[in-house]
Amino acid sequence: MCGFVGFADTSTTVDKVTTVNNMMDTIIHRGPDSGGVFTDDRVAFGFRRLSIIDLSDEASQPMYNEDNSVVLIFNGEIYNFEEIRKDLVAKGHQFRSHTDSEVILHGYEEYGVDLLQKVRGMFAFSIWDQKKQEMFLARDFFGIKPLYYTQNTTDGSFIFGSEIKAFLKHPSFKKELNKDALKPYLTFQYSVLDETFFKGVFKLKPGHYMIYKDGKADIKSYWDVNFDENQDSLEHYVEKIKTTVEESVKYHKISDVKVGSFLSGGIDSSYITSLLKPNKTFSVGFRTMRESSTKRILPKIYRIFLELKIINRLLMRMNALRSCQRSNTIWMNRNPTHPLFRYIS
């Protein structure tokens, strides 16, 4: 998990370096390993890094192309970056690192917006093209990685980032409650609107990208789910699911740090763990519940270290709230999301 912040304006009253650093400080939990800043007379980019692929300084962000005219900040992972990199190298692009981030940078130079038809992964990124004087922002197909933006500012500034709390540190941001977001949240227990609890702050939709230029944002879709029906045999679909899951797990293993797996003892996590064969597995259990033998058997079969934590106390409502307050859980959480993506972005 990494995180980024940024804004675009022509104001001479806002200290870009100080402001973007203050914004970065609010998301340091997303990237405790390092941070970086880029500013010019139009934009400010800030990035917090959690190192996963290529742990060297060459993989730090913001990241630049060969002549420093294109600047990237990126949160996520591109699973097929090695295949795309080979094509870009063959076309003459020079790489400074071995990270997947740089593939997006040179991919933008080579393919433009069509890069989004080639990448496979979970991502949110922003690219500032100094020659075109335009910004290119995009979010992954399912919206796993967060990307918020607003122009609800006193001076027309465009602000964006991984978490809304960073916007609070920008002096031009209008802090207004969006009352229309309350009813959907109480109904569904997560935010179903594109607009968040902050008035004028929006989520970039999954499978969409934005071109920001001259104070205007143009948003377009680059992908949507295809529900076309195809009739085939049960054996065909069993094999298709098997190969798809195996391929997905293989791509997720690419890392320069140790890989772990959450093991609940159910079918899904057990199957993924058996394919992944991670360095460690992690489980949380309750002593009053019947422990699954799968949690203990699987690690022994594949010789994986199992970190098992047993909870043996009753957590009352107020105690739970106090625990959240002490651990900054409420502060760390961003706009309420669908439970499917709450813990993986």
Query: Are residues 257 and 55 in contact, defined by beta-carbon separation less than 8 angstroms?
Result: yes
- Cβ count near 191 (within 10 Å): 20
Catalytic entry in 1, 2, 85, 296 = 2
Annotated active-site residue 324? The verdict is no
Burial class (CB in 10 A: 0-12, 13-18, 19+), 105: buried
The type of residue at 236 is: H
| 13 contacts: CB under 8 Å, gap ≥ 6 | 155
Distances (CA, A) of 11 to 15, 16, 41, 44, 218: 9, 9, 9, 12, 22
Query: Are residues 6 and 21 in contact, defined by beta-carbon separation less than 8 angstroms?
Result: no
Q: Mind telling me the catalytic residues?
A: 2
